Amino acid sequence: MANTRRTTKKGAATQTNEAMFAGSMPVASDLTPFQILAPDGKPVREDLIPDLDLVEDMYRGMSRLRHLDDKFMSLFKSQRLGNYAQFGGQEASQFGSAMALNRQTDYIAPMYRNTAAMITHGWSIQNAIMYWRGHPEGWRLPDTANILPVIISIPGQVLHAAGAALGLKAQGTGGVVMTYVGEGGTSQGDVHAAINFASARKDPCVFIIENNGWAISVPRQVQSGVDYLVRRSVGYDIPGYLVDGNDILAVNTVSKKAVQDARDGKGPSLIEHMTYRIRPHTTGDDPKAYRDENAEPEFWRKERDPIARVKKFLTLEKRWNDDREVAMVAEIETEFQAALEAADQVASPRPEALLEYVWQNDVWQIKEQREILKRRVAQMEGA
Amino acid sequence: MANTRRTTKKGAATQTNEAMFAGSMPVASDLTPFQILAPDGKPVREDLIPDLDLVEDMYRGMSRLRHLDDKFMSLFKSQRLGNYAQFGGQEASQFGSAMALNRQTDYIAPMYRNTAAMITHGWSIQNAIMYWRGHPEGWRLPDTANILPVIISIPGQVLHAAGAALGLKAQGTGGVVMTYVGEGGTSQGDVHAAINFASARKDPCVFIIENNGWAISVPRQVQSGVDYLVRRSVGYDIPGYLVDGNDILAVNTVSKKAVQDARDGKGPSLIEHMTYRIRPHTTGDDPKAYRDENAEPEFWRKERDPIARVKKFLTLEKRWNDDREVAMVAEIETEFQAALEAADQVASPRPEALLEYVWQNDVWQIKEQREILKRRVAQMEGA
Amino acid sequence: MMTQVLEKATETKTMTLLQALTDAMDVMLAKDPKVVMYGEDVGRLGGVYRVTTGLQGKHGEHRVFDCPLTEAGIIGTAVGAAAVGMRPVVELQFGGFMMQGFDQIFSHVSRFRYRSRGRWSTPLVIRFPFGGGKSLLEQHADSPETYLMHTPGIKVAIPSNPYDAKGMLIAAIEDNDPVVFFESIYLYREPSARMDVPTGYYTVPLGQARVAREGSDVTLVTIGTMVHTCLAAAEQAAKAGIQCEVIDLRTVVPLDMETVVASVAKTGRVVVVHEANLTLGPGAEIAALIQEKCFYELEAPVLRVASFDTMPSPFNSLNHYSRPEAHHVAEAIKNVLSA
Amino acid sequence: MMTQVLEKATETKTMTLLQALTDAMDVMLAKDPKVVMYGEDVGRLGGVYRVTTGLQGKHGEHRVFDCPLTEAGIIGTAVGAAAVGMRPVVELQFGGFMMQGFDQIFSHVSRFRYRSRGRWSTPLVIRFPFGGGKSLLEQHADSPETYLMHTPGIKVAIPSNPYDAKGMLIAAIEDNDPVVFFESIYLYREPSARMDVPTGYYTVPLGQARVAREGSDVTLVTIGTMVHTCLAAAEQAAKAGIQCEVIDLRTVVPLDMETVVASVAKTGRVVVVHEANLTLGPGAEIAALIQEKCFYELEAPVLRVASFDTMPSPFNSLNHYSRPEAHHVAEAIKNVLSA
Ligand SMILES: Cc1ncc(C[n+]2csc(CCOP(=O)(O)OP(=O)(O)O)c2C)c(N)n1
Ligand SMILES: Cc1ncc(C[n+]2csc(CCOP(=O)(O)OP(=O)(O)O)c2C)c(N)n1
Ligand SMILES: [Mg+2]
Ligand SMILES: [Mg+2]
């Protein structure tokens, strides 16, 4: 009875195509990344250029972060840092978005590449150095900053963000949560679960996809058949924004809007920053094994640098010159050296740190293991 | 440096709204479920009415399935069946889609409510009875039917479907995989992972959302903020179809199209069947605890029944009358009684079944446990 | 039977395990505004087992609510909500569905405090019905305690009676560690397990085993539903003059080995009984610890009675061959005595 | 050192563990067209550890390919692909990320045959680097064997040397049961662990332990990287006149208790050593079984040396205090002898 296959009476049902079904989803429309400044530093949206003091702050902030990223890479090379996930090239994406938050009320749920966003939201450089050294005191997140733990397992943080948003709303704090995920990470089911959860409840959460083109060696196209991941916003009926992630003015403008909407009870937004990982995946990675370092990355390094773009703009606006640059770099370097020295002066990790903070009060196994640890430490010191 | 908040120079950036961003996702367009037959049995798309023999087969098929669902409910009441997940009301959705498959080459990856789709694809009624009795022989899937195991844990089957599609494509069999998930199940991350995986690779898979309005007691609106879940197709750049799931002609037409596309190497489609769970969630559920059984469900039972709709059409077309109905019901009942008798005659489960099929060759623990089992069986027989 | 003494006399009411759990949640929703409860069907319906019945109506939709169908979402959001100051009590529909969200437990619930060096903790409770003994579908009868016991940083509570259930659930909600709370499907409404339970607030500390029956010949170490199975076996054995001590662990994390060791010192013979399948079930750790800590007291090997190493049987009429029954335990008692 | 005898003389080549694994996959891709390999970065890059280096180039993009970043997707699709006749060999980037797909393992990989009564099986291999000893980020050093050992229906292979690695991986790919294959990050390129490995096809059966060193005083039962740690401890002990027998289990499922029991019959003293954290680590089951099966042979309790009950230490400079080292095992040997 089943599987009967016949020619159709009126001949049509075998020649159907999508267009003829009333219920067919419309073909994807064009989408262009939102931009305020062109790569040559010239405004494409004069009407959206903010106060130049703010633009200068953005330039200084990004320069400081890039300097830090450079320094971290050389610390790794000289074995004064562990394996580190660079954010270089993504300064506009992280600084421009995180600066849209209110540090007192708002939270960040970061992933491993969000050192820039975390520092923007109140992590200290010294803390960051020690974290990437694998020093327990570096793992101690500051009480003064609303930064949830750095997540390595992709994309745990997006669910924490949705949950923190639920919690903040329940407490009526007016706080907003911002979280980041790589374009590779969007293939994980949890990203869907989180966005759907938060949007069904209209909780105050901003989801940012940092599309830097690569997931280690896997290019964007392997992750999904769709051109822009932000198209998924339609599936949750939340605002979605495609943004030139190397244009900090565009990034910041959209982030502010999304944060304000979240604060106003309008629920989450999904934002895709089109940016680029100009550096290796981590300091342990060698991209030559999978991409031509003189092709695409070179273009982004030279032609699409988010910092150079703002510098060009400020120079055109006569707000910037070489003297200022020299002074700024000196200032940044001084700050960094001070942080590095402070980090260097922190005592080596205490072995006891291994057994702290597992349960609030130690179960007996932890107590027994602490005795074992003491013996081992004594042995090592004896040896 | 961060968190600088100033008034903007040109005053605009604080008053932005979605519409002004070039990269904003367009506002959701209207979407109407695809329909060929109206609820009153009158064609709304004359051009798509197939051969009446086929329509009659559909009517007979759905009637047979509804009869089965009724019988299963009464078997449960008389304790001759375990807890059972009814598909009543979803006959068009399951029969109409599964009949679009080729039984020889194509696969179904079913969930617990897909008894109708499974029978359409070659499961026997006897097998179904024994499955829902918790009889090991009922769990034995027939070698002759390409039906993957029934999945209880939502929504495991969608990933199996994506994987089977990968496997069939690799083997060049031309086969297609069809899988089903409830609208509640679409909130799970794995649904996203599966659709994204299959669509990135263009594997031959058809994903059907059976939107029956309820996930046990949880109504559709709690699952997501979007009006139709099929809008998610846009996020994978695959065809998406919203279908009147109680119109078997519409269901079958769209399924055929999606199956043919998959077979032709065009990759997966996402289909949403708007239907309704006219019955309790399972035989163990009492919907009075969470919905007014005289409101919404009554409307669907009376006004939107998928079987009544085709009957009206066939009657209008003079292809159906009471005599035929009486003969058909007798035939169906005879078939069912034969299957029930056959099931009743199967010997009680052998205790040894407990320890079979865990590993291909028993590990020693299984061998030891078989000895224990033998002793326990002997004891029980002795007692 | 209770080792707990209430500080002051309170009113009591006869309750099933299920009613005691509902009552615990009612008390905590009233006491602490940070407590929220969510999951699949917990709101309007009151849960598929009706454990949250009435709570939404009484405490409001912002305190007790249904959420999208996603265990990863339920657990993962509870982590974030707990971090920012809530006390989420989330329900999974069955223990067998915990795995859909297990990455959040393994990677985050258990590690937030360690990972942030105390800056963030995750004071949440994950509740679910577990275990067999009823004829249910596949994945409705799992006993997944191993996966949690091996994962540091979590507490695991498995009450065996209404009094403990209420006191332990209140303690769990107030605990600053994440607690996974196992609720026996078999005992939920079991009339024979009903008992008098104080109506107000009280706690039963997590980590203290209970001697459910005293005895000097054999120690039965067990948990949850199996406490009753062991008590029945002990009853039988008593008729043959064998005195079994039955230890209800109450929690497997923390694991109260002091109570176990004290009993073994007395009896020298132990049978561990649980519903989870044998290999690397909780009994493995308990047996390994007993042989280590009581080597010279043991007069026979520690025996284990557990379900077979298969998935929990979905074959209704065969279930009782695999899942421990009193006469299986009785056989082990005989064996441990004759070793 | 090898207990295996090759049926016919074949050419050999000196290989690291990593090279032996690559070679095994190369052999099987050539031998069986149903074998496909996928995962994150396994194609163009050849995996983050380069275990699949060259395989895509040699066997084509349809045999070895990158897929979207989703462990549930990788494992779940492998289940479906295996059911319809493929032999998927999938890579997870680290053992710590298995949990993102663990529901598919727990609910489906392990249950497909049982659930369909033999109609469908899941002959797939899930490979991943695991364990510590290198300074890596969090979730890059986990040893999740417990979660798999307790889940029936899966085999779990953890080779300790290049010869076994190749032979066991080929056996795993040919096995009709799903196999989870642990690859020691520490040993991948370890020069001291290089050895001569036959260049062609051969198998090492899954489920047969190997006596890596004979001895009569103490039995060390271990697996994977820890085999080398135990051999080093045994070497040290030998200097003090103590002869340790080192048993490399090779697989924890199936678990070759015959070899263990035979050794304990000889020594009467056992130390179990593994990288996973102590509580309910694989050592719990092994200790529970030994005390049960060798009660009268044991002269001391079975001791366990394992990592502390915390997440694997992400604090690089402290790692060696928790993860078993030769001198930790040496101390346990001393203790088990003085008990
Ligand atoms: C669950 C999980 N699987 C795999 C990995 C290994 N891994 C680390 S980074 C990475 C690529 C991530 O790419 P993307 O999400 O685009 O972020 P990006 O690194 O580019 O910032 C992978 C696969 C991981 N950290 N977590
Ligand atoms: C992973 C998982 N979580 C929870 C459940 C319990 N459960 C069974 S059916 C159901 C509702 C499913 O609703 P839907 O997906 O719409 O399918 P329907 O039952 O309506 O066909 C739930 C929550 C489950 N089976 N699996
Ligand atoms: Mg990326
Ligand atoms: Mg539904």
pLDDT, tens digit (0-9, with 9 covering 90-100), for B261-316: 999 999 999 999 999 999 999 999 999 999 999 989 999 999 999 999 999 999 99
What pLDDT shows up at residue C316?
83
B11 DSSP assignment: S
User: How far is it, in rounded angstroms, from Cα C207 to Cα A318?
Assistant: 69
Residue B104 CB neighbours (<10 A): 12
pLDDT band at B4 (very low <50, low <70, confident <90, very high): very low
Residue-wise burial string across A247-268, b where 16 or more C-beta atoms lie within 10 A, e elsewhere? bbbbbbbbbbbbbebbbeeebb
Contacts of A163 (CB under 8 A, 6+ apart): C76, C77, C78, C79, C80, C81, C82, C83, C88
> Would you tell me which residues 147-166 of chain C have a C-beta closer than 8 angstroms to some C-beta of chain D?
147, 149-150, 152-153
Question: Which residue's entry shows tokens 């094994």?
Answer: A289
CATH architecture of D13-198: 3-Layer(aba) Sandwich (3.40)
pLDDT (tens digit per residue) in B82-104:
999 999 999 999 999 999 999 99
Closest chain D residue to A214, measured at CA: D41
Query: For residues D155 and D105, is the Cβ–Cβ distance under 8 A?
Result: no
> Which residues lie with the beta carbon below 6 Å from any ligand 1 atom?
A 113, 152-154, 182-185, 210, 212, 214-216, 277, 281; D 40, 69, 71, 93, 97, 100
DSSP D109-149: ITTHHHHHTTS-----EEEEEE--SS---TTSS---HHHHH
Distances (CA, A) of C328 to B372, C54, C235, D323: 9, 40, 14, 40
CA D171 to mean position of chain CA atoms: 13
Query: Is it the case that residue A43 has pLDDT exceeding 70?
Result: yes
Q: Does B375 touch chain C (CB under 8 A)?
A: yes
**pLDDT of B9 above 70:** no
Task: Write out residues 302-331 of C within 8 Å (CB-CB) of D.
Answer: 302-304, 309-311
Residues of B in contact with C322 (CB under 8 A): 354, 373
Which pair of tokens denotes residue B265?
């190497």
Atom of ligand 2 nearest to the CA of B188: 1
Distance (Å, rounded) from C-alpha A178 to C-alpha A273?
14
CATH fold of B24-344, please? Rossmann fold (3.40.50)
pLDDT-derived band at B6, boundaries 50, 70, 90: very low
Distance of CA B149 to the CA centre of its chain: 13
Chains in contact with D, where contact means 3 or more Cβ–Cβ distances below 8 Å, are A, B, C
**Angle in degrees, CA C204, C208, C212, rounded to 5:** 90
How many Å lie between the centroid of ligand 1 and the Cα of residue D72? Answer: 14
Residues of D labelled as active-site residues? 140
- How far is the C-alpha of D112 from the C-alpha of D83, rounded, in Å? 9
Q: What angle do helix axes D282-293 and C282-293 make, rounded to 10 degrees?
A: 60
Residue A2 has pLDDT above 80, yes or no: no
For chain D, state the CA radius of gyration. 19
Residue-level pLDDT at B2: 34
b/e for A344-362, b at 16 or more Cβ within 10 A?
eeeeebebebbbbbbbeee
Q: What proportion of chain C, given as a percentage, has pLDDT over 90?
A: 95
Q: What does the alpha-carbon distance between residue A308 and residue A84 come to, in Å, rounded to a whole number?
A: 24
For chain C, the structural domain boundaries read 13-198, 210-338
Q: Counting beta carbons within 10 angstroms of the beta carbon of residue C208, is it exposed (0 to 12), middle (13 to 18) or buried (19 or more)?
A: middle
Q: 3-class SS at D107?
A: helix
pLDDT of the residue at B12: 36
Residue A24 has pLDDT above 90, yes or no: no
Collect all residues with Cβ–Cβ distance below 8 Å to C262 and sequence separation of at least 6: none
**E strands, chain B, in order:** 107-109, 177-182, 205-211, 214-215, 218-219, 240-244, 269-274
Contacts of residue B224 in chain C, CB cutoff 8 Å?
Answer: 68
The pLDDT > 90 percentage for chain B reads 90
Strand pairing class (A214-215; A218-219): antiparallel
pLDDT confidence of residue D3? 46
**C-alpha to C-alpha distance for B244 and B33, rounded to whole angstroms:** 5
Separation of first and last alpha carbons in chain D: 31
Q: At what angle do helices A91-98 and A248-263 cross, to 10 degrees?
A: 30
Indicate the pairing of strand D210-213 with strand D244-248.
antiparallel
Phi, psi of D330 (to 5 degrees): -60, -40
Q: Look at residue A377 in the predicted model and tell me its pLDDT.
A: 96
DSSP C203-245: ---TT--EEEE--SSEEEEE-TTHHHHHHHHHHHHHHTT--EE
Q: Which tens digits make up the pLDDT trace of D233-281? A: 999 999 999 999 999 999 999 999 999 999 999 999 999 999 999 999 9
Residue B20 banded pLDDT, cuts 50, 70, 90: low
User: D210-338 architecture in CATH?
Assistant: 3-Layer(aba) Sandwich (3.40)
**How far does residue D130's CA lie from ligand 1's centre (Å)?**
17
Q: D148-180 burial string, b = 16+ CB within 10 Å, else e?
A: bbbbbbbbbbbbbbbbbbbbbbbbbbbbebbbb
pLDDT of residue D246: 98
Please give the Cα distance from C248 to A49 (Å, whole number).
69
Sequence-ordered alpha helix ranges (H) in chain D: 17-31, 55-59, 71-83, 102-104, 112-116, 145-149, 162-174, 185-188, 226-239, 257-267, 282-293, 319-322, 326-338
Ligand nearest to the CA of B86: 2
Report which bound ligand comes closest to the CA of B187: 2
Q: Which residues pair with A206 in a beta bridge?
A: A178, A269
Mean pLDDT of D130-152: 95
Q: What is the mean pLDDT of residues B193-215?
A: 98
- pLDDT at position D9 is 56
Question: Minimal CA–CA distance to B183: which of B232, B236, B122?
Answer: B232
Evaluate if residue D68 carries a pLDDT over 80. yes
Q: List pLDDT tens digits, range D188-205.
A: 999 999 999 999 999 999
| Centroid of chain to Cα C197 | 18
Provide residues of C within 8 Å CB-CB of chain B: 40-41, 44-46, 48, 66-73, 96-97, 99-100, 135-140, 278-279, 308-310, 313-318, 321-322, 327-328, 331
Residue in C280, C289, C307 to test binding to D, most D beta-carbons within 10 Å: C280
pLDDT confidence of residue A216: 98
Residue C1, pLDDT above cutoff 60: no
Residue pointed to by tokens 């009922």: B138
Q: What is the Cα–Cα distance from B160 to B166, expressed in whole angstroms?
A: 10
Instruction: Please tell me the predicted confidence (pLDDT) of residue A254.
Output: 97
- Rounded distance, CA C133 to CA C141, Å? 8
Mean pLDDT of B178-191: 98
**Cα–Cα distance measured from residue B222 to residue B184, given in angstroms and rounded to the nearest whole number:** 9
pLDDT tens-digit series, residues C67-113? 999 999 999 999 999 999 999 999 999 999 999 999 999 999 999 99
> Which of D116, D126, D256 should be substituted to probe chain B, the one whose Cβ sees the most B Cβ atoms within 10 Å?
D116
- C-alpha A358/C-alpha C124 separation (Å) is 15
- Chain C nearest-CA distance from D287, in A, is 5
Handedness of CA C207, C213, C219, C222 (dihedral sign): negative
Q: Write out pLDDT tens, residues D26-46.
A: 999 999 999 999 999 999 999
Number of helical H runs and strand E runs in chain D: 13, 14
Is it the case that residue B60 has pLDDT exceeding 70? Answer: yes
Mind listing the pLDDT tens digit for each residue in D106-128? Answer: 999 999 999 999 999 999 999 99
pLDDT in tens, C232-254: 999 999 999 999 999 999 999 99
The vertex-D30 CA angle with D27 and D36, nearest 5°, equals 95
